[in-house]
Structure 1
Amino acid sequence: MTVIDANRMHEIETRYPEYFHRSFRQRFGGLMILVATLLYSLYAVWFFDLPKLFAEAHWERVGIYLSQWVSYDVQPEFRIEDDGSIDIRYPRFSPLGDNPHPDWLVNNPDGSITVSVSGTSRSVTVSKSETIVTAHGVSVPVEVSSGAPKVVGPVPGWMTVYDDNVLADLGFAGNVSISVDRVKIRKRFIGWANFIFDTQSSFFDKPVGEVVSLIVSGPRIKPDQSNLSLAFDDIWNNSEWQHGDVWTKLFQTIVMAFLGTLLGSLTAFPLAFLAARNITPNRLLNQVLKRFFDFLRSVDMLIWALFLTRAFGPGPLAGSGAIFLTETGTLGKLYSEGLENIDNKSREGIKSTGAQTVLVHRYGIMPQIVPVFVSQTLYQWESNVRGATIIGAVGAGGIGLKLWEAMRTNANWENVAYMVILILIVVFIFDTASNALRHRLMGTKAH
């Protein structure tokens, strides 16, 4: 064990003062950052009034919306006529078609009708004088013969009584609305109804085996069209899911992203050479172009889309223009900074041979910057596929507008889920492809 005397210790402190005489910032910098972060968090809680926000939030809507993404409902309505008969009606464009006869609806010998909402644990029996709702292990009769529906016995927590209506909440399975002259049931099913063929299709409600048999070797349903062509038309023109329109709009979104990015890169490329200080030694021109790039980038793509939809009307042209303007600014800045960071030795070596400027750029600059430029452009293209979806919601066309229209109805959440999944698949494919191309160009391995 080596012992260091006072003189040796003083000599070490003199030689390495940064280790023995640290500044206030070095000693307490970490603690100050921690305290500042804590204070800012407290300020954010106060500024946004987070306790009140969380207390008043409608958290139950999260479950409702998520359930509607993966399910659909059927809404039979039972009208009690004056003669005591019960008339069953379904909404227009019901998922069950124009003349439904579901097996979960049973006509009883006494004239009543029993609807199985969720197996035998949740059911509704409708008669001319009362409606019996069975759920959570109990059966609750509701009289409907008087001026207003009346619950017989204690009212359970899952049932709400209004002046002229009784509402029974059966959870995810659905709900029941009971009034004097009618009972409306909402029965929920897992899945997407009529995703392949809608109720107007000749193949609607047919088993898969029968559909395949008709397409492969069955007699023609329409004499002037093959069954395969008819099946494709029915799927493409599905009135409920609108596959043809959705896929067309999705293709528009991809084209918008590609066209806007391509035009932006082609415009930014020559401008970047003029903006780079080491390529074009004109300080005024450099600054003007860099500020021009900053201006194009500072106006968000969404704002450009709003401007262009007012100028050219809604459609893909406005979306492509918005991406083009944004990418000209973004790629112009990236390209010019890449040019300013190149190794000038190759350029100066070729220049010393008396080669023309074009050849100097071609052999002294391009080999250094092409992989970087292509990599940056591919990344922006991938990002613009997502951006094109957002700007579509303000009228720039593409699937974004279709998605916004479905969300505004607040009823077609399964259609929203369908389009969101398509967008996620497209983004995943483009992300994977662009990553592979970037790694290939940069000579690195993808992880």
Structure 2
Amino acid sequence: MTVIDANRMHEIETRYPEYFHRSFRQRFGGLMILIATLLYSLYAVWFFDLPKLFAEAHWERVGIYLSQWVSYDVQPEFRIEDDGSIDIRYPRFSPLGDNPHPDWLVNNPDSSITVSVSGTSRSVTVSKSETIVTAHGVSVPVEVSSGAPKVVGPVPGWMTVYDDNVLADLGFAGNVSISVDRVKIRKRFIGWANFIFDTQSSFFDKPVGEVVSLIVSGPRIKPDQSNLSLAFDDIWNNSEWQHGDVWTKLFQTIVMAFLGTLLGALTAFPLAFLAARNITPNRLLNQILKRFFDFLRSVDMLIWALFLTRAFGPGPLAGSGAIFLTETGTLGKLYSEGLENIDNKPREGIKSTGAQTVLVHRYGIMPQIVPVFVSQTLYQWESNVRGATIIGAVGAGGIGLKLWEAMRTNANWENVAYMVILILIVVFIFDAASNALRHRLMGTKAH
């Protein structure tokens, strides 16, 4: 075992003071950061009143909205007439069309009607004197012959009795509202109703095989138009899903992002040479342009879109302009910083030969910066595809505006899901294309 005397110990402390005489910040810095983070978290909880926020949140709506993204409902209404007959009515623009005859609705020999809400486990039988709701393994009769509906027997937990109606919650399958003279059923289906052909189409409610046969070799439905052309028109002009309008707005969003990014890059490129200190040795001009870039990018793209929609009106022009202004500031800053970090030796070598300034920039600077500039521009373009969707919601055009209109109705959540999926697909495609181009330009392998 080696013994270190006092002199040797003092020598080691003198040589490595950072290990033996650490400052207060070095000794307690990590602990102070941890305490500060904890205090800030507690302050945020108090400031936003998170316990109350979570307690009063309508968490049940999350499940409702998510279910409406992937399903649709049909709402038949059964009206009990004075003569005891039952009149079946469907809402206007029902997914079943103008003359529905669903197989889940059965007319019984005793003049009652049975609706299968979810197979045989959840069903509703409507007659002139009572409505029987079967769910959760029990059948509950509700008399409707008196002044108010009356549940016969104990009221189950999934059924609520009000003064003038009884509401039965059947879970995801739907619900039933029972009053004296009418019974309204909401039956839910998984999927998107009439996604290909709407109820006004000549191909509506036909099997897939019959539709294909009509398109390939069937007689013309309209003498002046082929069945293939008619099918395309019916899909493109689907009144419920509005495929034509949605895809047109999606293309507008892509064009807005491309045009705004391209114009921003073309404007920022020459300005960046004037803003770079090592390229243009004019400190006043450098500072003016850099502050100009800071101003353009400090105003959010959404704010620029609001300004431009007031100036030019709603539409893609305002969206492209907002992206252009933001990208001029962002790319101008990135380009100028990239120029200030180049290796000056190639430039100085070419300059020493007496070459003109244009040639010095072409051969001494451009080979160093082009891959970096293109990579940064592609990334911004990819990001602006997402940004163009957001600014569309404030009137800048594109699919963002259509998405906002669908959300405002609070009823077309399946249309919202459709547009969100299209946006995600476009973003994924542009992300993959941008990554592939960047790796190709930088000479690296994509993972």
In the superposition, the TM-score normalised over structure 1's length comes to: 0.99
Q: Corresponding residue for 1:45?
A: 45
Structure 1 position 6, deviation (Å): 2.3
State the distance in 2 between where 1:444 and 1:4 align: 53
State the distance in 1 between where 2:65 and 2:426 align: 23
1:313-344 CA deviation, whole Å, 9 max, x = no partner?
A: 10000000000000000000000111111111
Structure 1 position 170, deviation (Å): 0.5
State the distance in 1 between where 2:239 and 2:3 align: 89
For residue 252 of structure 1, give the secondary structure of its aligned residue in structure 2: helix
Structure 1 position 445, deviation (Å): 1.4
Q: What is the count of residue pairs matched by the alignment?
A: 447
Matching of residue 107 in structure 1 with residue 107 in structure 2: yes
State the distance in 2 between where 1:259 and 1:196 align: 32
Structure 1 position 149, deviation (Å): 1.3
Structure 1 position 252, deviation (Å): 0.3
Structure 1 position 164, deviation (Å): 1.2
Q: Corresponding residue for 1:189?
A: 189
For residue 445 of structure 1, give the secondary structure of its aligned residue in structure 2: coil
Structure 1 position 210, deviation (Å): 0.8
Residue correspondence of structure 1 range 187-266 to structure 2 within 5 A: 187-266=187-266
For residue 305 of structure 1, give the secondary structure of its aligned residue in structure 2: helix
1:388-423 CA deviation, whole Å, 9 max, x = no partner?
A: 000000010000001000000000000000000000
Structure 1 position 264, deviation (Å): 0.3
1:126-180 CA deviation, whole Å, 9 max, x = no partner?
A: 1111111111111111111112111112211111111111111100000001111
State the distance in 1 between where 2:117 and 2:47 align: 46
Structure 1 position 352, deviation (Å): 1.0
Structure 1 position 354, deviation (Å): 1.0
Structure 1 position 205, deviation (Å): 0.8
For residue 88 of structure 1, give the secondary structure of its aligned residue in structure 2: strand
1:6-58 CA deviation, whole Å, 9 max, x = no partner?
A: 22121111111111111111111111111111111111111111100000000
1:43-92 CA deviation, whole Å, 9 max, x = no partner?
A: 11111111000000000000000000000000000011111100000111
State the distance in 2 between where 1:289 and 1:7 align: 61
1:195-230 CA deviation, whole Å, 9 max, x = no partner?
A: 111111111111111111111111111111111111
For residue 346 of structure 2, give the secondary structure of its aligned residue in structure 1: helix
State the distance in 2 between where 1:182 and 1:314 align: 46
For residue 224 of structure 1, give the secondary structure of its aligned residue in structure 2: coil
1:236-264 CA deviation, whole Å, 9 max, x = no partner?
A: 11111111110000000000000000000
State the distance in 2 between where 1:311 and 1:125 align: 60
State the distance in 2 between where 1:386 and 1:2 align: 66
State the distance in 1 between where 2:62 and 2:44 align: 24
Structure 1 position 345, deviation (Å): 0.7
Moved more, 155-164 or 176-185: 155-164
For residue 206 of structure 2, give the secondary structure of its aligned residue in structure 1: coil
State the distance in 2 between where 1:400 and 1:163 align: 44
State the distance in 2 between where 1:354 and 1:401 align: 56
For residue 380 of structure 2, give the secondary structure of its aligned residue in structure 1: helix
State the distance in 2 between where 1:74 and 1:167 align: 17
1:343-399 CA deviation, whole Å, 9 max, x = no partner?
A: 111111111111111111111111110000000000000000000000000010000
Moved more, 144-153 or 67-76: 144-153
State the distance in 2 between where 1:417 and 1:3 align: 75
Moved more, 351-360 or 416-425: 351-360
Q: Corresponding residue for 1:338?
A: 338
Give the 4+ runs in structure 1 shifted more than 6 A: none
State the distance in 2 between where 1:370 and 1:171 align: 59
State the distance in 2 between where 1:93 and 1:57 align: 33
For residue 131 of structure 2, give the secondary structure of its aligned residue in structure 1: strand
State the distance in 2 between where 1:10 and 1:167 align: 86
State the distance in 1 between where 2:166 and 2:306 align: 47
State the distance in 1 between where 2:2 and 2:319 align: 74
State the distance in 2 between where 1:232 and 1:370 align: 45
State the distance in 1 between where 2:289 and 2:321 align: 20
For residue 106 of structure 1, give the secondary structure of its aligned residue in structure 2: strand
State the distance in 2 between where 1:429 and 1:326 align: 23
For residue 133 of structure 2, give the secondary structure of its aligned residue in structure 1: strand
State the distance in 2 between where 1:10 and 1:367 align: 55
Taking only aligned residues, the RMSD between alpha carbons, in angstroms, comes to 0.8
Q: Corresponding residue for 2:155?
A: 155
State the distance in 2 between where 1:313 and 1:45 align: 41
State the distance in 1 between where 2:335 and 2:57 align: 46
Unaligned runs of 5+ in 2: none
Structure 1 position 112, deviation (Å): 0.6
Q: Corresponding residue for 1:432?
A: 432
State the distance in 2 between where 1:82 and 1:357 align: 96
Moved more, 2-11 or 206-215: 2-11
State the distance in 2 between where 1:148 and 1:363 align: 90
Structure 1 position 2, deviation (Å): 3.2
Structure 1 position 5, deviation (Å): 2.4
Q: Corresponding residue for 2:29?
A: 29
Structure 1 position 3, deviation (Å): 3.0
Q: Corresponding residue for 2:66?
A: 66
State the distance in 2 between where 1:374 and 1:441 align: 8
State the distance in 2 between where 1:438 and 1:30 align: 38
State the distance in 2 between where 1:83 and 1:274 align: 89
